[in-house]
Amino acid sequence: MNTDHPENNAHINPTRLGYQSRFQFKCHPGVSCFTQCCRGIQIILTPYDIIRLKRRLALPSDEFLAIYTEPHLLEKTDLPMVTLKHLDDGQESCAFVRDKGCIVYEDRPTACRYYPLGVGTLQHKEGADDDGFFFFINEPHCKGFDESQEWTVADWRQDQGVDERDAVNAEWTDLVVRKRSFPVNIKLTDQAKQMFFMVSYNLDQFRRFVFESTFLQRMPVDDATREQLKTDDVALLKFGVNWLKNLLFKQKDPLP
Ligand code: SF4
Ligand code: SF4
């Protein structure tokens, strides 16, 4: 089992890579550095990362957030984000790393999947740079570059399941990128930030908000959608992000 990890800005190789850029890399339990990259790191979680992890751990989203994450503000956006908590082991290890590797490997976060690549710009469906913008995170301890397996960036993304995750997160990423393009003096209200946090990270709370308040009287949906939103987290996330865009960008007040 290999173990990948996210952006650690300490040793960025500034070479700009596109989807067809080539590199040599392989990570496997035989490397001398195995699991080192899962310590001393900051892993930003996307909404879909949380859906996958909370499902794997059979936890409601608020419990997952309380046990495994720390809140922050995302630079240049004034938007809340969450990172994985570290263990208190003197090495700032990820809570999910063990000697044999990652215990949530099949559901590991997007940032872990990208490694050894970092993302130069958030992918954004409108006006995205067609050739992408990636770079190497060259940490001295990482021996994966000494291996002979060849990849293009596009192949790596597909192999690691990044494409699927980016597709689910696309509208949310679009929202974050749009907010980042706002002048810095335009601030969100605390209420707007709370709504963003709830939809993005605490989906089970958002579901209660939708079904246990007057929300659906203010924002009616058809019966099929209503049934789907009761159980389908991905559908609820997409519904919530569209509602948030209305709230944040169209200056309406769709709040019940
Ligand atoms: S989630 Fe898994 S792959 Fe990512 S840093 Fe933690 S242990 Fe490593
Ligand atoms: S440091 Fe590099 S080679 Fe070593 S386990 Fe992490 S990703 Fe794999």
Q: 137 φ, ψ to 5°?
A: -100, 100
Closest CA to 47 of 80, 89, 94: 80
26 close to ligand 2 (CB < 6 Angstrom): no
- Tokens 């960036």 -> residue: 153
For the segment 165-197, what is each residue's pLDDT rounded down to a tens digit? 999 999 999 999 888 887 777 788 899 999 999
pLDDT level of residue 13 (50, 70, 90 thresholds): low
CB 102 near ligand 2, within 6 Å:
no
Q: What is the pLDDT of residue 57?
A: 98
Judge if the beta carbon of residue 43 lies within 6 A of ligand 1.
Answer: yes
pTM passes above 0.95? no
Instruction: Report the SS3 class of residue 160.
Output: coil
Q: Would you state the structure tokens that stand for residue 78, as one six-digit string?
A: 């004034």
Shortest-distance atom of ligand 1 to CA 111: 4
Which strand ranges, in their side-by-side order, compose the sheet holding 44-45?
44-45, 79-84, 69-74
Question: Looking at residue 9, what is its pLDDT?
Answer: 43
Distance in Å, CA 32 to ligand 1 centroid = 17
pLDDT of residue 78: 82
**What is the chain's mean pLDDT, rounded?**
87
Backbone angles phi, psi at 180, to 5 degrees: -65, -25
Q: How far is the CA of 94 from the centre of ligand 2 (A)?
A: 14
Q: Is the pLDDT of residue 215 over 80?
A: yes
